[in-house]
Structure 1
Amino acid sequence: MTEPTVVASAMSGGSAAEAADAIIGSLRDGLGGATPALVLFFASTEQPHEELAPRLTEAFPGAVVLGASSAGEFTEVGDRKGQVSALAVAGDFAIHAGLGRGLKHDPAGAVTRALAEVPTTHATLPHRAGVVLLDPLSGTGEEATLIAASVLGPDVRLAGGAA
């Protein structure tokens, strides 16, 4: 049986602990008991990512938790500065993640390293999509996105951003 897709979002500020606790509570409420496959968070550079990521990972075991810095945080409710926003997605998804270091000096190598452990097919899920989060200060974001699109192929829809 197909599991319904459920998406929840949240935004909060304060200390890392306060923001994480509020976001965890809001995401759980929004998911209505569904288990997320993916949790994405975007945090101001004022927020300590090294404190946020472990809290979110512990709160959502089994989910792939990814984070990025942001120059402004938003959800469908509004936007703020100095905060943390997050998105959780539950449903029939197989989530894989990779990290490619050295984007500024070697965009092709960084993309290759990021995609090295990502499978090209799945036995029961026929559709694929990619989320690309880049460091805009690298100056190679457009090139890296084009490389990712080329490597992944025309059947993979890409979304993402850099802030």
Structure 2
Amino acid sequence: MLGFYADFGHGSDQYKWLEHDLSKVNRTKTPWLIVIVHTPWYNSGYSHLGEKESVDMKESMEELLYNTRVDVVLAGHIHIYERFNRVYKEKEAICAPVHIPIGDGGNLCSGEFIKPQSETSTFKESSFGHGEFIVAGESFASWSWHRNDDDESVQADTLPIQSIASDPLCNKMII
């Protein structure tokens, strides 16, 4: 869990902790790396688009997460649900994390999204909901998002996810 309310720049205690912690991970023993941030680095909801803390933290830490092959980045703060493809520096990249802003469980949902839709954004909705991340093994997991605005929970989005550590192309590149 990374915090915006503490220094996160290069050389900060938080950055050094993350760098040290990620460097100790043995992907054979720990095939999944999931990072949680407060404010999403990627989102297309108008109400929090381009927030300074999000932009600054992304600039500071995105390369570290990419180089250590983090699989998924979950975020809250914005009251919408959105799922991005694997993305690094605003472009799809097969060895980058899947970014999922999922702050739609609480407060009133934020509403509108920018148009046109980003090529890296694959699903978005401004409804109350919740997500499930189910690890099926060391290589595969399933992400699903369930809309709660209906009388009963409805699975509205799903994505099978392969661990980057199990992808032969990405596995060679893990630093």
Bin of the TM-score, shorter chain as denominator length: 0.3 to 0.5
Give the TM-score of the pair, scaled to structure 1. Answer: 0.36
The structure carrying a bigger helix percent of its residues is 1
